[in-house]
Amino acid sequence: MESKIKNICCIGAGYVGGPTMAVLADKCPHINVSVVDINQSRIDAWNNEDLTLLPIYEPGLKAIVRRCRNKNLYFSDEVEKNIAKADMIFISVNTPTKTKGIGAGQASDLKWIEKSARQIANFAQEETIVVEKSTLPVRTAETIQRILRETNKNNSLDKKKTFSVLSNPEFLAEGTAIKDLENPDRVLIGGEDIKAIEELKKIYLNWIDPSKIIISNIWSSELSKLIANAFLAQRISSINSITSLCEATGANITEVSKAIGLDSRIGTKFITPGPGFGGSCFKKDILNLIYICNYYGLKEVADYWSKVLDINQWQKQRITEIIIKNLFGTVNGKKLAILGFAFKANTNDTRESPAIEICKNLINEGANLAIYDPKVSSDQIEKELNISQSNYNEENFTDGSWESQEDLGCALKGSDAAIILTEWDMFQELNWAELTKLMRPPYWIFDTRNITKKNLEDLEGLNLWRLGIDQ
């Protein structure tokens, strides 16, 4: 099938725009793909000769960028010029929770979406297919359509311009983005314009089985994305709520999770307990869902979904309290090693990471944290904690501080506890018999991801606490 689409522009070179377009360019060498962003330093990082300095760490991404960059994949800050060249434009800009005004704290802030729509209306040429890739409140396509139509109507020179708006939400998860994009469970396209849908479908057919491409009306497509995230987050809150019950009753969450997961109706995925879900989307998308439900007068539905967030918040607080209680009721002046700051393994992303809140709580209690993460920079940690870094000094400790450590041994040296917050593979293989020699007895390991090996139980002098297993 001959495709009309020769030039694609993606607005937003972030965690979605970058990897999504890299895979698209890799699978469609006949299409030129330009990813544009207003953030100059992000674009510079995407164009860096040194591929270890790409703005996003994602397994498999470097190899694709090496293959396609400056062949049919371009990263640019020339937003208008690339919009003008494109037959199809993906919008992959950020849609965070509003921080002020009506709906603050719940509704999505659509100012970046609106700005993109206006740029498209002004600079696109002739027939353009506009694809919503960002996660959006249901019926946002209506707003985009209106902006495109009305802006165009007032511009008598642009009579030839036409736009079709499609919804094509992205379901990738960070850390497995390339795998998810190359082999997705499904691709969802929502829209009314059959010809535009066919053009987008033809692109995906370059590497995806037709049975996995599903078409729906545009509102179902927008809503399905919010609901998919809400269901995933709900499963995590469900299992996390049971961790406390296991600790209280002597049941073991790993055994419970396995026993329920083997029921094929429940399934094994997304029932791994942890310190609470993080990431840029689960919380924001559920808040948005709650806002929409309240808007339509569905208070009971809104209340139901708010509980998923309440449990998530409670889990972080609960873990902080358990750590303090076990360390003789105080962490003031103590050195604690934090293992992992990213919101999950295999990403450098820290947005909404449970580590942020747990670290802040502990610093607030007077602890001195040595934070080690294999992929997160100290600048990034500082930005998230919003507290300046200060070097730990055993003789003259401050009342609540943190420092970033590039060496795990240095982080553990003289510490009273190691607190595992991210499930990086390397934390599973640690030689605790040696590492605990660096710590100050009586030392503790708090494993909020249940990744430490069982034989740790036999290690002399070690106090081990695992989520949903130990009291």
The candidate with the shortest Cα–Cα distance to 365, out of 336, 392, 338, 403, is 336
In the complex, least distance from residue 176 CB atom to ligand NAD, rounded to whole angstroms? 10
Contacts with ligand NAD in 280-339 (CB under 6 A)?
280-281
Minimal distance, residue 187 CB to ligand NAD, in Å: 13
Separation in Å, CA 109 to CA 151, 169, 322, 338: 21, 17, 36, 33
Contacted by 270, from ligand UGA, ligand NAD, none: CB < 5 to 8 Å by type = ligand UGA
**Residue 9 among the catalytic residues:** no
Neighbours of 76 (CB within 10 A): 16
Residue from 54, 68, 79, 165 in contact with ligand NAD (CB under 6 A): 79
Stretch that binds ligand NAD, among 154-162, 169-177, 182-190, 325-333 (CB under 6 A): 169-177
Residues 357-382 as b/e (b if ≥16 CB within 10 A, e otherwise) read bbbbbbbebbbbbbbbbbbbebebbe
Please give the residues from 326 up to 345 whose contact with ligand UGA meets the rule CB under 6 A. 343-344
Residues 206-235 close enough to bind ligand UGA by CB under 6 A? 229, 232
The H-or-E segment that residue 190 falls in is: strand 187-190
Residues linked to residue 403 through DSSP beta bridges, in sequence order: 370
> Which of the residues 38 through 57 are near ligand NAD (CB under 6 A)?
38-39, 42
What DSSP state is assigned to residue 343?
S
Q: Roughly what angle, to the nearest 10 degrees, separates helices 354-364 and 378-385?
A: 70
Residue pointed to by tokens 């294999």: 374
Q: Which stretch binds ligand UGA (CB under 6 A): 91-99, 164-172, 310-318, 398-406?
A: 164-172
Backbone angles phi, psi at 433, to 5 degrees: -60, -40
Catalytic entry in 9, 28, 68, 281 = 281
**Cα(95)–Cα(89) distance, rounded to whole angstroms?**
17
Mark 107-126 with x for binding to ligand NAD (rule: CB under 6 A) and - for no binding: -----x--xx----------
According to CB under 6 A, which residues from 173 to 202 bind ligand NAD? 174
- Under the binding rule (CB under 6 A), the answer on residue 430 touching ligand UGA is no
The token pair at 208 is 């995806």
Element (H, E) at 341: none
Q: Looking at beta carbons only, is 34 or 272 nearer to ligand NAD? A: 34
Report what 232 binds from ligand UGA, ligand NAD, none; CB cut-off 5-8 Å by kind. Answer: ligand UGA
Q: What angle do CA 110, 116, 122 make, to 5 degrees?
A: 135
| Interface residue with ligand NAD, options 93, 148, 188, 319 (CB under 6 A) | 93
Q: How many residues are present in the chain?
A: 471
Of 10-18, 62-70, 400-408, 432-440, the segment contacting ligand NAD by CB under 6 A is 10-18
Contact assessment for residue 446 and residue 323, using Cβ atoms and an 8 Å cutoff: yes
Q: Residue 348 is which amino acid? A: N
Residue closer to ligand NAD by CB (options 16, 73) is 16
Binding-site ranges for ligand NAD (CB under 6 A): 11-17, 36-39, 42, 79, 92-95, 112, 115-116, 134-135, 170, 172, 174, 280-281
Q: Supply the residues annotated as catalytic.
A: 281
Binding-site ranges for ligand UGA (CB under 6 A): 135, 170-174, 229, 232, 236, 270-272, 274, 277-282, 343-344
